[in-house]
Amino acid sequence: MADVRQEEFPAVTLTYEKGDLIIKEGDYGISVYKINRGRVLIYAERHGKNVPIATLGPDEIFGEIAFFNKGGEKRSASARALEQTELEAWHPAMLSKEYQEMPPALNYVVRQLVIRLLRMNRLLVQLTEQEEKRRKALEKSDPFVSRRRFYRKPVDLECYYRPVGLQAKSRLSGRIRNISLNGLGMEIAVQNTANVSHVVGDSFVIKTVLPSGKDLDLEAKIVSLKQSETPSRLLLGLSISRLSEETKKVLGFFLLP
Amino acid sequence: MENMQPFMQLYLTGEENYESGDIIIEEGSRGNWIYIVLKGQVKVTKRTKLGTVTLNTLKQGAVFGEMALFGKLLDGRSASVIAADGPVTVGVLDFDLLRRDYESLSPRLRLLIDTVIMRLKETNEKIAAFVLAANRKGPGEK
């Protein structure tokens, strides 16, 4: 960092333990933080519950909204350390001065962006809440979903899947995160949903190989959908709708404690 | 737009007129024009398999296409912008001038602005995925 301008901005290094609150929604403050080490969860508090917005890692920035939106603006979300985390806190005075003195047209464009981001974040929090309610209602009405509470083995298996009834060439990839005889949890990239429908009720043919080397081939339907803690990823909850006797044996054996 | 800020007037290089439904920016296409809505409204939309999701409606004074301005080169426009609700007039802003302004900023301030853009893109993607999920009813739902 030989950049002279960087040296003009003193940065303070802060360390947080797992679970520590870094920013509280509604508080005042315009410091900006850069993550040197660790992971930070950004979330909103709605009706006594935490709605996750994003998980950030090294070299990522947070606190930028209040910085741009200053003039008595409160923090629009909370931030909490997910593990031991080291942050660099940028003192806002110098940055603020530069922001205020930047060409007015650029300032106007940036301000618009920040307003749009705030609006879209609020919409996302609303949608996340709705999806959570939907899932809850579904759990009550669908016995298949309620049974999801049964023991599930945590795994990390690469898998391929395609919508039931479509050609194998529309093959997508994901990672199975947990599995039981009734259902499984699968993490996928958000972009998988760009061309193939991924909504509650959709069925997929899923193929993977168990650590034992045995092939697993089954059909399952989506019963829930939520954001993963990893950005741009979704977590699908699936209930198994077709499982051959042979596969059932293989899976049953794998699930033995 | 009579009450347009004088400093924005200086960056205006031209005006374009559109009718309802005309595409002003097409998702995935390349281009770095930046626009400001002078009259009427525009819709920001994203394509999905089940159809098009409207993310936002922008009114007079709103800037769009600005993501092309910041940070690294993007892989094309991240959403479409369509004229909505009667005739629309947009102003075309001077990209080179705005880009020069941006490049004159300190690395930290640029990083902050880039972060806002990245967050907005991520948020839009997530919203499109949710809208998609909500558009179809699950089993057991009426």
Residues A201, B115: C-beta atoms closer than 8 Å: no
Candidates B55, B98, B112; nearest CB to A105: B98
- pLDDT tens digits, B10-66: 899 999 999 999 999 999 888 888 999 999 999 999 887 667 888 889 999 999 988
Quote the tokens at residue A133: 């309610």
Residues A121, B56: C-beta atoms closer than 8 Å: no
| Alpha helices (H) in A27-103, listed in sequence order | 64-68, 92-101
> Which of B133, B134, B127, B116 lies closest to B44 in space, CA to CA?
B127
Under the banding of pLDDT at 50, 70 and 90, the label for residue B100 is very high
C-alpha distances in Å from residue B107, one per residue of A9, A98, B1, B48, B71: 11, 11, 34, 36, 11
Residues A117, B50: C-beta atoms closer than 8 Å: no
Mean pLDDT of A199-224: 89
Between residues A4 and B136, the one the model is more confident about: B136
Residues A121, B123: C-beta atoms closer than 8 Å: yes
The rounded distance, in Å, linking the Cα atoms of A39 and A23 is 14
**pLDDT at residue A144, rounded to an integer:** 53
Cβ proximity of B68 and B117 under 8 Å = no
**pLDDT at residue B35, rounded to an integer:** 94
Best mutation site among A98, A116, A131 for testing chain B: the one with the most B CBs within 10 Å?
Answer: A116
Residues A200, B112: C-beta atoms closer than 8 Å: no
- pLDDT tens digits, A140-181: 665 555 454 456 788 999 999 999 877 666 789 999 999 988
Under the banding of pLDDT at 50, 70 and 90, the label for residue B141 is very low
A211: left (phi > 0), else alpha (psi -120 to 50), else beta? alpha
- pLDDT tens digits, A21-80: 999 998 888 888 999 999 999 998 888 888 888 899 999 999 888 888 765 568 888 999
Q: Above 0.90 for ipTM, yes or no? A: no
Say yes or no to pLDDT of A115 above 60: yes
Cβ proximity of A239 and A202 under 8 Å = no
**pLDDT at residue A23, rounded to an integer:** 93
Residues contacting A172, CB < 8 A, separation 6+:
A160, A161, A162, A188, A192, A196
Under the banding of pLDDT at 50, 70 and 90, the label for residue A6 is very low
Candidates A113, A128, A201; nearest CB to B139: A201
Residues contacting B20, CB < 8 A, separation 6+:
B83, B84, B85, B86, B87, B88
Residues B123, A124: C-beta atoms closer than 8 Å: yes
Say yes or no to pLDDT of A193 above 70: yes
What is the dihedral angle through the alpha carbons of B69, B74, B79, B83, rounded to the nearest 10 degrees?
A: 40
**% residues pLDDT > 90 (chain B):** 42
Q: In chain B, count of helices (H) and strands (E)?
A: 3, 6
Mean pLDDT of B3-12: 82
> Which of B43, B40, B45 lies closest to B17 in space, CA to CA?
B40
Residue in B closest to A42 by C-alpha: B119
Cβ proximity of A174 and A187 under 8 Å = yes
Contacts for A103-108: CB closer than 8 Å, 24+ residues apart? A103/B7, A103/B101, A104/B5, A104/B7, A105/B7, A105/B8, A105/B10, A105/B11, A105/B93, A105/B97, A105/B98, A105/B101, A106/B98, A106/B101, A106/B102, A108/B5, A108/B7, A108/B8, A108/B63
Candidates B97, B120, B126; nearest CB to A113: B120
Q: How many CB atoms lie within 10 A of CB B64?
A: 22
Say yes or no to pLDDT of A94 above 50: yes
Q: How many CB atoms lie within 10 A of CB A248?
A: 13
C-alpha distances in Å from residue B60, one per residue of A94, A107, B80, B91, B92: 33, 17, 18, 11, 14
Mean pLDDT of A106-124: 89
Which residues of chain A neighbour B141 with C-beta distances below 8 Å? 134, 137-138, 141
B 83-112 residues inside an 8 A Cβ radius of A? 93, 97-98, 101-102, 105-109, 111-112
Task: Read off the DSSP letter of residue A229.
Answer: S
**pLDDT at residue B73, rounded to an integer:** 56
Residues A104, B7: C-beta atoms closer than 8 Å: yes
DSSP per position, B51-71? EEEEEEEE-TT-EESGGGGSS
**pLDDT at residue B68, rounded to an integer:** 80
Cβ proximity of A141 and B140 under 8 Å = yes
- pLDDT tens digits, B69-89: 776 656 788 889 999 988 999
Residue in B closest to A104 by C-alpha: B7
Best mutation site among A42, A90, A99, A109 for testing chain B: the one with the most B CBs within 10 Å?
Answer: A109
